Amino acid sequence: MSAADVRLIVITDAAIAWPRSVSDIVRQSLIAGAPAVQLRDKAASARELLHQVEAGTRVRLGPAADCILGGTPTWYTPVTSMFLHGGWLHLIGNMWFLWVFGNNIEDSMGHLRYILFYLICGLGAAAAQMVVNPASTIPMVGASGAISGIMGAYIVLYPRVRVHMLVFLGFFITTIAVPAWVMLGYWFLLQVLGGLPALAQESGGVAFWAHAGGFIAGMVLIWLFRNRTLVARRTKLVSPYGWG
């Protein structure tokens, strides 16, 4: 059996049972609003943002979907693109990771800081992808970069929390639980390896460097955005529960 025969699906983390000092209203709002935004999905690209493409350029998104790039200045494109997705599976995957990891980060910084942190990580992710391939006309959409920032913050604050995963080994299915640093570190490595071909030529599909850039941004920015009082209170609240 090769490595390609192994599939991992994140189920939840041990912290789901922890008491909370702050509600996760922002995380819940992002998840609840995503399907509504998806119904009004539009696409954007790095070259459109940089005004390196003519207005009216048509970009093929699929067999029955095109994106026509406009000529109006779109400085807000990196922000709006965080709330768009390439399809329902893309959206569900992103929202699931936000559901698993996002509540603990919101509980560690509060609502307003969480919103700013989420947006800045998303912008950092878009910047990373544009640096790698600034001439790309392939639309880049999705909350993946911002959520990668949440995951980067998680590995800094809660590296020992156990993450429960469903493992497919060919036809055999089982579950495992590993420390967050193992699961998230493995995920980050996959993003870097997956993004290496993009350094040589343009490629569509997954914006690997946006994921990697968002993750690194989250690891760095969490030191600025964390609320020390909330982190200390959370540590005291969960100490009886252990790390899972």
Query: Can you give the three-state secondary structure of the chain, one letter per residue?
Result: CCHHHEEEEEEEEHHHHCCCCCCCHHHHHHHHHHHHHHCCCCCCCHHHHCCCCCCCCEEEEECCEEEECCCCCCCCHHHHHHHCCCCHHHHHHHHHHHHHHHHHHHCCCCHHHHHHHHHHHHHHHHHHHHHHCCCCCCCCCCCHHHHHHHHHHHHHHCCCCEEEEEEEECCEEEEEEEEHHHHHHHHHHHHHHHHHHHHCCCCCCCCHHHHHHHHHHHHHHHHHHCCHHHHHHHHHHHHHHCCC
Using an 8 Å Cβ cutoff, are 16 and 161 in contact? no
Q: Give the pLDDT band (50/70/90) at residue 45.
A: very low
Q: 68 has which bridge partners?
A: 58
**Domain tally for the chain?**
1
Lowest mean pLDDT across 28-37, 185-194, 197-206 = 197-206
Q: Give the pLDDT band (50/70/90) at residue 69.
A: low
- At 22 the pLDDT is 73
- At 145 the pLDDT is 87
Q: Which one is predicted more confidently, 154 or 35?
A: 154
Domain that holds residue 66: 3-241
Q: What is the mean pLDDT of the chain?
A: 77
Using an 8 Å Cβ cutoff, are 17 and 172 in contact? no
Average pLDDT over residues 62-77: 62
50 pLDDT exceeds 60?
no
Using an 8 Å Cβ cutoff, are 185 and 166 in contact? no
Residues above pLDDT 90, as percent of the chain: 25
**Cα 175 to Cα 228: distance, rounded to the nearest angstrom:** 34
Residues above pLDDT 70, as percent of the chain: 66
Write the CATH number for 114. Answer: 1.20.1540.10
Per-residue model confidence as pLDDT tens digits over 144-178: 889 999 999 999 999 988 999 988 887 788 888 99
